[in-house]
Amino acid sequence: MSKVTCDIGISVDGYAAGPNQRVDEPIGDRGELLHRWMFEEAEANAEIIESVTDAGAFIMGRNMFTAGRGEWDLEWNGYWGEEPPYHAPTFVLTHYPREPVPMKGGTTFHFVTDGIEAALARARDAAGDRNVSICGGAHTVNQYLAAGLIDELRLHIAPMVLGGGERLFEGVGDIGLEQTAVSHSGLVTHVTYRATAPRG
């Protein structure tokens, strides 16, 4: 049976992005260091890297797609160039409607204005029997955790302290986490949890 998964990189103090997120620093100050392992230790982490984009559909918040707010800049198609890494339908949570944006490699961005559950329903339809992945950022992941809609949470913890920014687990309630796997390399520790809905 397909699952709703989430892969997210965080610092040891729980931040998925540093402070001062902006167009030229979309993950905030020093936030790119959270993901050094994907580039500097790609061979050691090849299986994990492959699993991050192994889903039939993806969901992300608007802030992960663009630093812009308000009405859309229709010239902006995301941070990833002409061929984003998703290669599947990708649903962007937003308050502002926009027509779908097809990209090279099979990614089409769809813009969802009626909330996280509507986005998940559309992603499940698009994914068929494959998993749906919640990409981020932290605010979006927190909403899905608080609603009990993530089955498997995969944290990629970088050995660094950001000290501020966008933090995971804020406002999620008393969720249950059962550790099911752990591995590491020099720049990251990967921990997989089975997640359950908040209690009470």
Walking along the chain (200 residues) 10 residues at a time, the average pLDDT comes out as 94 97 93 97 96 96 92 94 97 98 98 98 98 97 97 98 97 96 97 90
**How high is the pLDDT of residue 3?**
97
pLDDT confidence of residue 23: 87
CATH number, domain 4-71+81-173:
3.40.430.10
Please report, to the nearest 10 degrees, the dihedral formed by the alpha carbons of residues 51, 165, 32, 145 taken in order: 0
Q: Which long-range contacts (CB under 8 A, 24 or more apart) does 170-179 make?
A: 170/138, 170/142, 171/142, 171/146, 172/142, 172/145, 172/146, 172/198, 173/146, 173/198, 173/199, 173/200, 174/198, 174/199, 174/200, 175/145, 175/146, 175/148, 175/199, 177/153
**Strand (E) or helix (H) holding 136:** strand 132-136
In this prediction, residue 85 carries a pLDDT of 95
Cβ-Cβ contacts under 8 Å for 137 (sequence gap 6 or more): 16, 17, 60, 61, 63, 64, 166
pLDDT value at residue 200: 64
